Amino acid sequence: MPATAGSASAAAAAPTAAPPAGGRRIGAVFAGLLVAMLLASLDQTIFSTALPTIVGELNGVDHMLWVTTAYLVAATIMMPIYGKLGDLLGRKTIFLAALSVFLVGSIVGGLASDMTWLIIGRAIQGLGGGGLMILSQAIIADVVPVRERSKYMGIMGAVFGISSIAGPLLGGWFTESIGWRWAFWINIPLGLAAIVCAAVFLKLPRHHAKVRLDVWGILTMAVAVTSIILITSWGGTEYAWDSSTIVTLVVVAVIAAAAFVLAEYRAAEPIIPLSLFKSRNFVLATVAGLVIGVAMFGALAYLPTYLQMVTGVNATESGLLMLPMVVGLMLSSITMGQLASRTGRYKWMPIAGMVVVATALLLMSTLTVATSLPVLLGYLFLLGLGIGLGMQILVLIVQNSFPDSQVGTATASNNFFREIGASLGGAVVGSLFTSRLTDLLTDRMPAGGATGTLETNSLSPAALDALPDAVQDVIVGAYNDALTPVFLMLVPLIVVGLIVLLFVKEVPLRASLEQGASLGDANQKKDPALVAAGSSSTDRPREQGTP
């Protein structure tokens, strides 16, 4: 591993002792960052399987949706704010603050005596959680050059994949064994461990920039994000897509989004600077990341239900059957990170990823009720393999397109749009699936069978087992035929992502840090050798602003 500015200066005095110390510090810091990323991503999904029990205990079924929505709204809004503040003030203090807020939210949620306090706790968690994933990726940019960073980003991508499956499994296990409140309490020791690692081992330069808060940008973005997430959460479930509520939310979202763009154009320190969009690679990588998000979250949202209804497994088993997808994602994400670090070539990775994802979706569109389980699991492995090929490399492309002083803002903006895209994509996939399912059940159900929206919404594996064989066959066939065409509909979107990536310019990954001290003394001077390397014409990004 190449020396950072801090370790390089120390090596001049004690060349034999400094490198190991730097390695240990990077390892400790990285462990803390992984824990923080795990906490933030786990809490997006950990309550999905626990919600029925929670709302039953707290008598709040009417407010069930807000347990998830409150976290998503708060986290999404805070992403670009944390990214900007980290660039202006330095990331260590902001990171510790985000972790602390997240832990406060966990305590409030764990002690909640009713649904109101539970939702408040989830919202506070989101206010902190929105910064954990962004700052984890940005802090790596502070301590590791881009060329070496790909190794770490690959592992981060693997952790994100694990958490997407582990969340529902842990939530279900906590609920059935030691109690759902442990979905909150488990955050306390893990969060404290991450705080200790960051406080002791993370040494970053302190910034003293004057912060001029982009108030109008934050307010208009908050309105737009809240409207979009409510549309995706309520549309087709709580309210019909053409209802006055959804139409009003769409109008509010459009107006707020337009006002946000105007606010960013006029702001002295915009939270999402419009100048980011002058970078071709930023725009292309963000669009491609949005496409990957749609494919990943669209599949994750409905595959467990598909597995339960078509293969007859229970909720826990359906989660375990998603593991091949995680294994594929981990394998490709970590391997691609290593390859990018060693070779410096990376453009082919997300392109290959799009090809593999498209292939997996095509294969999944051919599924039938007679498809064997090993074949289905093979398709899931292939899907995970494709997602892992490009997911974190796209973040690396964004970071390599800007100087380190802007890496937090650029990373946060990229993740912000990916989160919005994933929410919209999940809503579209869900709407297509549920509308097709209802139509198929209505058309195929024998006279006297359970049909209609109410009966469709109440279907479960247990209810299915209690029905006559003829009715079971109709329902299982309807579930299969409702979801598999949706996979095929996603393929053109993946093709668009593939075409977009062909225009990415492969800028050489910087082999040195642009900033001064990283893991060393925050106040020490820059190492001359690294300054010279950082200003090398072959290492500096030349992509920003290219046509």
What's residue 498's pLDDT? 92
Which of 70-84, 266-280, 455-469, 489-503 has the lowest average pLDDT?
455-469
| Listed ranges 37-46, 384-393, 456-465; the one with the highest mean pLDDT | 384-393
Distance, in Å, from the CA atom of 74 to the CA atom of 128, rounded to the nearest integer, reads 8
Above pLDDT 90, what percent of the chain? Answer: 16
**What is the per-residue pLDDT across 280-308, written as a single tens digit (0 to 9) for each?**
999 999 999 888 877 777 777 677 777 87
> Where does residue 464 rank: exposed (0-12), middle (13-18), buried (19+ CB within 10 A)?
middle
- Give, in order, the Cα–Cα distances in Å from 141 to each of 249, 291, 357, 385, 396: 38, 24, 28, 25, 9
Which of 24-33, 181-190, 215-224, 373-382 has the lowest average pLDDT?
24-33
Above pLDDT 70, what percent of the chain? Answer: 81
Q: Which of 415, 413, 409, 407 is nearest to 515 (CA)?
A: 407
Q: Give the residue with greater pLDDT, 430 vs 267.
A: 267
Question: Per-residue pLDDT for 529 more than 50?
Answer: no
What's residue 147's pLDDT? 75
What's residue 247's pLDDT? 92
Question: Per-residue pLDDT for 519 more than 60?
Answer: no
CA angle 385, 46, 196 (to 5 degrees): 90
What's residue 285's pLDDT? 92
Structure tokens at 88: 């202006």
Q: Give the residue with greater pLDDT, 1 vs 369.
A: 369
Helices 146-176 & 280-311 angle (0-180, nearest 10):
30
What's residue 466's pLDDT? 66
Question: Per-residue pLDDT for 21 more than 70?
Answer: no
Taking residue 72's Cβ as centre, other Cβ atoms within 10 Å add up to: 22
- CA-CA-CA-CA torsion for 335, 338, 341, 342, nearest 10 degrees? -100
Which of 72-86, 133-147, 184-198 has the lowest average pLDDT?
133-147
pLDDT, average across residues 26-54: 79
pLDDT, average across residues 342-351: 88
**What is the per-residue pLDDT across 2-11, written as a single tens digit (0 to 9) for each?**
343 333 333 3
Confidence of residue 66 (pLDDT cuts 50, 70, 90): confident
Confidence of residue 390 (pLDDT cuts 50, 70, 90): confident
Per DSSP, helices labelled H in 235-367 are 244-266, 280-311, 315-320, 323-343, 348-364
**What is the per-residue pLDDT across 253-283, written as a single tens digit (0 to 9) for each?**
999 999 999 999 988 888 888 888 989 999 9
Distance, in Å, from the CA atom of 412 to the CA atom of 418, rounded to the nearest integer, reads 10
Which of 249-253, 360-364, 432-436 has the lowest average pLDDT?
432-436
Question: Per-residue pLDDT for 502 more than 90?
Answer: yes
Give one DSSP letter per residue of 232-253, joined into a string.
Answer: HHHBTTTB-TTSHHHHHHHHHH
Confidence of residue 60 (pLDDT cuts 50, 70, 90): low
What's residue 424's pLDDT? 73
What's residue 462's pLDDT? 60
pLDDT, average across residues 498-515: 80
Which of 144-148, 357-361, 363-367 has the lowest average pLDDT?
144-148
What's residue 405's pLDDT? 77
Which of 66-80, 352-366, 414-428, 488-502 has the lowest average pLDDT?
414-428
Structural Rg of the chain based on CA atoms:
24
> Where does residue 329 rank: exposed (0-12), middle (13-18), buried (19+ CB within 10 A)?
buried
Residue 495, H or E segment = helix 469-501
**What is the per-residue pLDDT across 115-142, written as a single tens digit (0 to 9) for each?**
889 889 999 998 998 888 888 888 887 7
Computed over every residue of the chain, the mean pLDDT equals 78
